[in-house]
Amino acid sequence: MQAKPNHIIPSIFPSSPTKSPPVNQIQLLPPATVPRAISISKPENNHVGSTHPTIDIIDDSITAFWDYQFLFVSQRCETTQPITLRVVDGAIPSDFPSGTYYLTGPGLFSDDHGSTVHPLDGHGYLRAFTIDNVTREVKFMAKYVKTEAQVEEHDSLTDTWRFTHRGPFSVLKGGQKVGNTKVMKNVANTSVLKWGGKLLCLWEGGVPYEIESGSLDTVGKVNMDGYDLTRTDDGNYNGDVWDLAAGMLKPILYGVFKMPPKRLLSHYKLDTSRNRLLTVSCNAEDMLLPCSNFTFYEYDSNFKLLQKQEFKIAEHLMIHDWAFTDTHYILFANRIKLDVVGSMAAVCGISPMISALTVNPSKPTSSIYLLPRFTNNNTATFKERDWRVPVEAPTQLWLLHVGNAFQIKDGNGNLEIQIQAAACSYQWFNFQKLFGYNWQNGKLDPSTMNLKDGESESLPHLVEVYMKLNSDGNCEKCSVLTLNQWKKSSDFPVINPAFSGKKNKFIYAATSSGSRTTLPHFPFDTVVKLNVLENSSQTWSVGSRRFIGEPVYIPKGDEEDDGYLLVVEYAVSVQRCYLVILDPKRIGEAEALVGRLEVPKQWNFPLGFHGFWAAETDG
């Protein structure tokens, strides 16, 4: 397909400059004075070298506003043939293993009829960076996942888009608004996985889509090993009042709103010691009822279902990520509740469906559910505790992403569990303000993601959760500490995957240098390496007006930090994306950057979510 200019979200950009507000009233949405000389393709600073504090603050606010928008620039074009990327710094190391880095995320935020959508509702755009160890070249491809919604909303003959699905986080302006029941738009935009010969793109609210790894063509929906996530007759019901309510909701959710009975969570886990894939699903009706049904699945390397376990928890929960150890699945009880007024507005189509829910900060503690991974576990040296009774962490936190979890048993049967994760406060987390998207005007407001210094502790940050259970299964201690005392806003914690579920020494994450006055906390511009055993940290920053996404670790040798890190750099100042190769051993040194490869400008893509490294030997 011939490359065409990127399509910017129309409603984000003001049609004309506005009058400058006083400095102490500067808002990022809409921006302060936008000089006519500023190009939409490249923000300019008309006061370079100025020493006037008022002008400097306004300039930083303007630039920050535009930089934030350029992280979410729609890319409508696909690459039908692999593109060789140009090395602009360093080189591809000779010992870099052959394989493909897959990165998924939203690719489209506006249609041709006046509607915009939340980034979480943007159609899945799969990017693939294939690294050849022999030729030492990197080939790039990118295609949309051809979900049912994508096929309906995109006219391939005219290459135009019309949004017909609202999406859970969006409303439509140029499409049908009132009475539109198309809300669960499976966009397959959240995570990607290659396992058992299948390349899958996952989304939080439905079944995965299988992708042909060579061409990135969409094969279609896939159900895991014959277990059909679309079945409506599955589930253990005890006849209580909530089971009755669930039975009444099913015809509406499945029939009217076309929701799948089982929602497979987008986060999965790889148990490298057992060579297993672990996934979890919840029931569609759980979104509206004060009880939660979770089904955990474990697959072997050929995608054969080895076991399935179901748990019903008497709390209204919203789980995005989770953890596992040798003997447990671990759920952090992100508590939610039904918003009656929001529900009515959502059903009428005048607010997003997600407005039916809100966070529930009613408890000062955080409940952690330790669910037994195996029944009749002969390897356990302690008495099985009642999993229905959670461990209460002393701090209220909303869990975002897990980096690692592991357990250690001593000779007396005591069990210690540690979880390294990213979490935020209930006060900051807001379903209707994620990424700063305002569904009422379709604009992005970066100030939502950048609180003042006195409030910054509410933002996503790295934590270590520690639990000690005695031989009777009773919790003797539970603590939540800032991981390595790293207090800067951080997310996307990752480790060497060979140490998943084991005691690790190093953890890496995307974080912020804090160098931007207006965007001190997000978007991220730095990779941090934490040594959790020595309580030390080192960083590598990408530079001014450049940001990064989630890092991914590429193992090479036996040592935990013997490998490479891949991260995508979003150089918004020049509208370019780069694939960056880092040496984990040299994070904190000038030689940390091994190589940087440029994606051609016509293929510049928006911020991605989660990625996956598939070694060539994985098939």
Q: How many residues does the chain have?
A: 619
pLDDT at 495 over 70: yes
Report the predicted TM-score, pTM, of the whole model to 2 decimal places: 0.88
Please name the helix (run of DSSP H) or strand (run of DSSP E) that holds residue 404, with its range, or none: strand 398-409
Q: Decide: 27 and 14 in contact? Cβ < 8 Å.
A: no
Q: Which of 55-59, 77-81, 465-469 has the lowest mean pLDDT?
A: 55-59
- Ligand-binding site membership of 328 (annotated): no
- Joined together, the tokens standing for residue 294 give 């979770």
Average pLDDT over residues 217-227: 78
Q: What are the residue ranges spanned by the domains of the chain?
A: 10-618
The mean pLDDT of 123-128, rounded to a whole number, is 98
pLDDT at 348: 78
With 70 as the cut, is the pLDDT of residue 123 above it?
Answer: yes
The mean per-residue pLDDT over the stretch 542-549 comes to 94
Per the DSSP assignment, residues forming a β-bridge with 200 are 193, 210
pLDDT of residue 35: 31
Distance CA 60, CA 144 (A): 35
Single out the residue of 373, 365, 364 nearest to residue 322, CA to CA.
373
Q: Does 401 appear as a known binding residue?
A: yes
- The confidence score (pLDDT) of residue 618 equals 63
- Tell me: is residue 320 an annotated ligand-binding position: yes
> Tell me: the pLDDT tens digits for 158-179?
999 999 988 889 988 876 666 6
At residue 244, the pLDDT reads 59
Residue 84 predicted with pLDDT over 90? yes
Report the pLDDT value the prediction gives residue 60, as an integer from 0 to 100.
80
Range with lowest mean pLDDT among 183-187, 239-243, 515-519, 547-551: 239-243
Q: Is 218 helix (H, G, I), strand (E, B) or coil?
A: strand
Return the minimum-mean-pLDDT range out of 39-48, 224-233, 397-406, 512-521.
39-48
pLDDT at 41: 30
pLDDT, mean of residues 232-244: 52
Pairwise CA distance, residues 106 & 74, whole Å: 8
Contact assessment for residue 246 and residue 283, using Cβ atoms and an 8 Å cutoff: yes
Give the 3-state secondary structure of 296-326. EEEECCCCCEEEEEEEEECCCECCCCCEECC
What percent of the chain has a predicted confidence (pLDDT) above 70?
Answer: 81
Q: How confident is the model over 371-380, as a mean pLDDT?
A: 71
What tokens does 392 get? 């209460």
pLDDT at 347: 76
